[in-house]
Structure 1
Amino acid sequence: MRLGEILAFGDRVKRHAALAPVARKIDHEPHAVLAARRHVEGGLGEWISEHPGRNFTPLCEPREGHGEPISPQFRAVVSLTFSRAAVGSTNPAKVEAVRRALARLAPGCETVAVDVPSGIGAMPLDESATREGALARARAALDRTGADVAFGLEGGAVLDGDRAWLTAHVVAVTREGSIGEAAWGRMLLPRAAAKRLRAGEELGDVIDDLFGAKESKRQSGAIGLLTDGFVSRTDAFADLVAMACASFLHPDLY
């Protein structure tokens, strides 16, 4: 199947630079994962006019909004081939993050949540420990479920003098042994939180106390409360899950 045959879908294609590698994957790597969703305004007609020799047969009509649903034929071409994914946590915010990302990257993929240990304690306090926890969760979830891919999502903090930074890591492990990773940019935490983290308290408990919340880590999290809901824990983790899939989407580049 050629690129021109998949260009019409809910989210129209944007970057011309991205079109050639997508076409190459379709032509030469039909089993590979493709990320053809690009948020656009225009671009499609421009691409067609610049490539008059390519066939253009839409598989589904463009649609307002985010482009769901898309046709089964389009899904078969552009989605990850995972049919079952495991999440190494039963935390609703983390589970929803994986579901949200895979709804776009692997439509139809079943997501199962399992409670597995991180092996690093309740509150990792550096980048290395946070990554280690995410990797341990992913591997344990894969072993427990036998899924096609498993995701470990781990939040942590980085201590820096009298300050502390919020961080997060996501590690994805496939049944074949491939690993994808992503880390979130740091967010400065309140000094009151930093002091209590140093004393051994868990961030979720500290944030609950500061905001008068309950179980915030299972909902919007510290990031949601500190940004007044502009970014939630699920939002941040969903982006990281998608980023962790980059090496699966473009195996020829990794």
Structure 2
Amino acid sequence: MKVCVGSKNPVKINAVRRAFEDYFGKFELSYSEVESGVAAMPMSAEETVAGAKNRALRALEKFKGYDYAVGAEGGVEKTQFGMMVCNYVVIMDKYGKVGVGGGTEFIIPKYMEARLAKGEELSEIIDELMGIEGTKYSGGAIGALTKGMVGRDETFRIATHFALIPFVNAELFRK
């Protein structure tokens, strides 16, 4: 089996690798940076899902003949409780079947909202405020805000498991 990921981010690649291994064991994994077609910091769940879908589509176009393509995207969305971080994974197979999964969500401090609205990425804000570097490529905002108890890779791994549901339960989705 061949799987491609529309990103060079090691957090996303490792999350996809781990989730697919859970179901399928060994497989070939390739990855490449592709355009998400959305803002660097998606500001809604819809925009975040669109970015993940675009990444999966572009990966499938780039890696002809692969069985699955995966797009993963992180963003934020405004809720009744405040701005929350969200992440989505879209998986497409070579036949056009699609699976979508969302990860865990959490509230960010209110004062970060204005900076996000100005176009800053959450990882840049977290890096600056918490005195760390490379948040996006390591534990993510969730890692920093939970003091390392939960990492970004886990949220994308969970979302990948959720996106795999239609593929690992194909018989249920044919009814």
Task: Confirm or deny a common fold (TM above 0.5).
Answer: yes
Q: Secondary structure at the match of 2:62?
A: helix
Judge conservation of contact 2:81–2:107 (CA < 8 Å) in 1: no
The one-letter code sitting in structure 2 at the alignment partner of 1:159 is: K
> 1:170 aligns to what?
89
Runs (4+) of structure 1 exceeding 6 A deviation are none
Distance 1:103 1:186 in 2: 24
CA deviation after TM superposition for structure 1 residue 161, in Å = 7.3
- Unpaired runs of 5+ residues, structure 2, are none
- Unpaired runs of 5+ residues, structure 1, are 1-82
In the TM superposition, what are the counterparts of 1:42-121 in structure 2 within 5 Å? Answer: 83-121=1-39
Distance 2:17 2:170 in 1: 22
Distance 1:234 1:163 in 2: 24
Q: Secondary structure at the match of 1:171?
A: strand
Distance 1:161 1:247 in 2: 31
> 2:142 aligns to what?
223
Judge conservation of contact 1:193–1:207 (CA < 8 Å) in 2: no
Distance 1:184 1:228 in 2: 19
Judge conservation of contact 1:85–1:112 (CA < 8 Å) in 2: yes
Judge conservation of contact 1:159–1:194 (CA < 8 Å) in 2: no
Q: Secondary structure at the match of 2:57?
A: helix
In the superposition, the TM-score normalised over structure 2's length comes to: 0.94
Judge conservation of contact 1:126–1:159 (CA < 8 Å) in 2: yes
Distance 2:159 2:167 in 1: 14
Distance 1:120 1:133 in 2: 6
> Greater relative contact order (Cα 8 A, min sep 6): structure 1 or 2?
2
C-alpha change, 1:249 and 1:161, in structure 2 (3 Å) is closer
Distance 2:141 2:106 in 1: 10
Distance 2:80 2:121 in 1: 18
**148, 162, 172: which is aligned to 1:253?**
172
CA deviation after TM superposition for structure 1 residue 194, in Å = 1.6
Q: Which deviates the most, 162-171 or 226-235?
A: 162-171
The one-letter code sitting in structure 2 at the alignment partner of 1:164 is: M
Judge conservation of contact 1:162–1:194 (CA < 8 Å) in 2: no
